[in-house]
Amino acid sequence: MTAASRPVALITGATRGIGRAIASELARTHHVIIGGRSRAAVDAVVAELGDASAFVADLAELSSIADRAAMLPELDVLVHSAGLIGPHEPIAEVNVDDLLQVFTVNVAAVHELTRITLPGLRARSGSVITINSGSGFTSHPNSSVYSASKFALRAWSDALRDEERAHGVRVTSIHPGRVATDMQQELRAMEGGEYREDDYLTPAAVAQAVRLAVETPRGGNIDELQIRPQ
Ligand X SMILES: NC(=O)c1ccc[n+]([C@@H]2O[C@H](COP(=O)([O-])OP(=O)(O)OC[C@H]3O[C@@H](n4cnc5c(N)ncnc54)[C@H](OP(=O)(O)O)[C@@H]3O)[C@@H](O)[C@H]2O)c1
Q: Which residues are catalytic?
A: 146
Q: Which of residues 5-34 bind ligand X (CB under 6 A)?
A: 13, 15-19
Choice from 184, 207, 222, 224 touching ligand X (CB under 6 A)? 184
Residue 11 and residue 19 in contact, taking contact as beta carbons nearer than 8 Å? yes
Sole binder of ligand X in the list 32, 52, 69, 82 (CB under 6 A) = 82
Closer by beta carbon to ligand X, 122 or else 142: 142
Q: Is 49 in the site for ligand X (CB under 6 A)?
A: no
Nearer to ligand X, 78 or 183 (CB): 183
Q: Identify the DSSP state of 52.
A: E
Size of the site for ligand X (CB under 6 A): 27
Residues 152-181 touching ligand X, rule: CB under 6 A, are 176, 178-179, 181
Angle in degrees, 0-180, between the axes of helices 144-164 and 109-123, rounded to the nearest 10 = 20
Closest to ligand X by CB, 40 vs 166, is 40
Residue among 61 and 162 whose Cβ is closer to ligand X: 61
Q: Which stretch binds ligand X (CB under 6 A): 24-32, 57-65, 120-128, 214-222?
A: 57-65
Number of neighbours of residue 196 by Cβ within 10 angstroms: 11
Q: In what order do the strands lie in the sheet with 224-227?
A: 52-56, 31-36, 8-11, 77-80, 127-131, 170-176, 224-227
Residues paired with residue 179 on neighbouring β-strands, in sequence order? 201
59 touches 105 (CB < 8 A): yes
| Residues within the interface to ligand X (CB under 6 A) | 13, 15-19, 36-38, 41, 58-60, 81-84, 105, 131, 133, 176, 178-179, 181-184
